[in-house]
Amino acid sequence: MATLARARSLIHERARRLEAASFWVMAREAFWIALEGLRTHKLRSFLTLLGVVIATTTLIVVMSIINGMNLYIADHIANLGANVFVLSQYNWATSDEEWIRERHRNKPILMDDYTYLRDVLSGYKNIGASAWVQPSPQVKYKNQIIYEVNVTGETPSIIEMEQEQVDYGRFFSESEYEHSASVCFIGTDLVEKFFPNVDPIDKVIFVGGQPFRVVGVAKHIGSTLGQSQDNFVQIPLTTLQKLFSARPRMNIHIQAQDVRQMAALEDQVRAVMRSRHHLPYKEPDDFGLNASATILGVWEQLTGSIFAGGIGIVAVFMVVGGIVIMNIMLASVTERTHEIGIRKSLGARRRDILMQFVIESAVMAATGGLIGILLAIGVAKLVDVFFTASVPVKAILIGIALSTSVGLFFGIYPARQAAKLNPIEALRTDG
């Protein structure tokens, strides 16, 4: 019994191997026939594949833009720091109408607001303020000048809540803040330009004509949309008030102990600010509360709708492209009826013919997908110049898989027509 079972399983194994071997031979043959067809009828092939090409290109470009935006958000807005939200004059992520309304009603956040909140809020881990010097002053060291440096005044606590981190030296101290000391913390762009070979610590640079002693350098951050994020000078907020602007507009950063206390803390800030601004019960806020979570939510909505639109376009073009391929395959089956007859007379089964035409159709569509991918990589590079786009590997895989599946799916009907041809009738047609 055991020997018999073994013999039978050996036969099965051999049969399976044979089947697999002939599958690959037939697949390879169908593959070359498809490519040769594409090569010999270039214009027809181009028109045939146009739908699939457009669909794949759209898919990948949309995915690349969304991916680029996500990377941007992840790097720059989500990087506010853990459990930090920001009280500012405006909400950062709003609709256009909302933005116009806020422009008219919202009041600036000022130093008084900061000191008041610092004293009355309870249960926070950190609070800090940050104000811009505008317009950006030029910064000078010896006879070198950098224009358009991002100069901000900060409270000492800010270093614990933002993405900048100390690389060497230190951030300015509480006492330097108290005494409006002329000290500064700089980004790596300034180090590269001013201090390529020397230790920048304790050197004096001139910001808007005022001397500042460098006390620390930040870790390199990188750039976004062509904007360097390392081109900054941070000085004590009090010094900014003394030297540049008596009533600076600022953002107040508040850090909760943990994520569960974020909402309660936001409510506290909202209540305090509304009462300071004497807002009646039904009036909307006249200030912005921005948390990375809410910003991310808005982004997700935005990218979601871009994606939904993209999917619509992709689906339409894929279906159109699939139908065109189906028609071309039907024409090809008619043209090659005699060939099908020959193959059947030599022992091709229905499934052999079916597979041949399905593979041909899939190879054709996959070629369209491949062209679409190359095109999309070019388009994404272009978009990245003036906006942001980054082609994710996932998009390329999805592009190939989707176009191939469209070819498989729309190839089934023509392939079935070919497979069910009667051998003698197929042979009788002129070849």
Partner 1 sequence: MSSRTLTAPLQQTMTPKDGVIIRTENLWKTYDMGAVQVHALCDVSFDIERGEYVAIMGPSGSGKSTLMNLIGCLDTPTQGKYWLNGRLVSELSDDELAYIRNKEIGFVFQTFNLLSRATALHNVELPLIYSGTPAAERLERAREALRKVELGDRMHHKPNELSGGQRQRVAIARALVNEPSIILADEPTGNLDSATGDEIMNLFDRLHQAGNTIVLVTHEHDIAARAHRIIHIRDGKVARDERVK
Say whether 244 sits in a helix, a strand or coil: coil
Task: Indicate whether 29 belongs to the interface with partner 1 (CB under 8 A).
Answer: yes
Helices (H), 106-139: 111-120
Residue 92 three-state SS:
coil
The whole-angstrom separation of Cα 157 and Cα 112 is 17
Structure tokens of 390? Answer: 């980054």
By CB under 8 A, tell whether 21 contacts partner 1.
yes
Q: Which pair of tokens denotes residue 367?
A: 């070629």
Give the shortest CB-337-to-partner 1 separation in angstroms: 13
* Interface segment toward partner 1; rule CB under 8 A; list 17-25, 174-182, 232-240, 264-272: 17-25
Distance, CA of 229 to CA of 195 (rounded, Å): 18
Helix, strand or coil, per DSSP, at residue 1: coil
22 binds partner 1 (CB under 8 A): yes
Instruction: Give the whole-angstrom CA distance, residue 100 versus residue 95.
Output: 9
Report the chain's terminal Cα–Cα distance, integer Å: 53
Phi, psi of 360 (to 5 degrees): -55, -45
Nearer to partner 1, 28 or 105 (CB): 28
Give me the phi and psi of 315, to 5 degrees please: -60, -45
To partner 1, the closest distance from the beta carbon of 423 in angstroms equals 5
Residue of 7, 10, 18, 401 interacting with partner 1 (CB under 8 A): 18
Backbone torsions φ then ψ of 24, nearest 5 degrees = -70, -35
Interface residue with partner 1 among 350, 374, 384, 416 (CB under 8 A) is 350
Q: State how beta strands 232-236 and 150-154 pair.
A: parallel
* Alpha-carbon separation of residue 397 from 246, 367, 369, 386 (angstroms): 57, 14, 10, 26
CB nearer to partner 1: pick between 140 and 343:
343
Sole window of 69-77, 116-124, 343-351, 398-406 interacting with partner 1 (rule: CB under 8 A) = 343-351
Beta carbon nearer to partner 1, 18 or 315: 18
Q: How far is the CB of 36 from partner 1 (least distance, A)?
A: 7
Task: Out of 352, 398, 408, 412, name the contact with partner 1 by CB under 8 A.
Answer: 352
**75 vs 352 by CB, closer to partner 1:** 352
CA–CA separation, 276 and 248 (whole Å):
18
- Within the chain, what is the greatest distance between any pair of CA atoms? 102
Binding residue count for partner 1, defined by CB under 8 A: 32
Helix (H, G, I), strand (E, B) or coil at 228: strand
Task: Note whether 226 binds partner 1 by CB under 8 A.
Answer: no
User: Closer CB to partner 1, residue 105 or residue 349?
Assistant: 349
| Token pair of 392 as six digits | 């994710």
Secondary structure class of 254 (helix, strand, coil): strand
Nearer to partner 1, 45 or 70 (CB): 45
> Based on CB atoms, which residue is closest to partner 1, 309 or 431?
431
Residue 397 engages partner 1 in binding (rule: CB under 8 A): no
Q: Contacts with partner 1 in 411-430 (CB under 8 A)?
A: 423-424, 427
Distance CA 233, CA 248 (A): 16
Closest distance of CB 419 from partner 1, Å: 10
Cβ closer to partner 1: 253 or 344? 344
- Determine if 335 is a binding residue for partner 1 (CB under 8 A): no
Which helix (H) or strand (E) segment is 132 a member of?
A: strand 124-132
Interface pick for partner 1 out of 7, 25, 82, 225 (rule CB under 8 A): 25
From the list 16, 41, 247, 394, which residue makes contact with partner 1 (rule: CB under 8 A)? 16
User: What's the CA angle centered on 269, arms 266 and 274, to 5 degrees?
Assistant: 125
Nearer to partner 1, 98 or 425 (CB): 425
Nearer to partner 1, 22 or 223 (CB): 22
State the residues that interact with partner 1 by CB under 8 A.
11-12, 14-19, 21-22, 25-26, 29, 33, 36, 338-339, 341-350, 352, 423-424, 427, 431
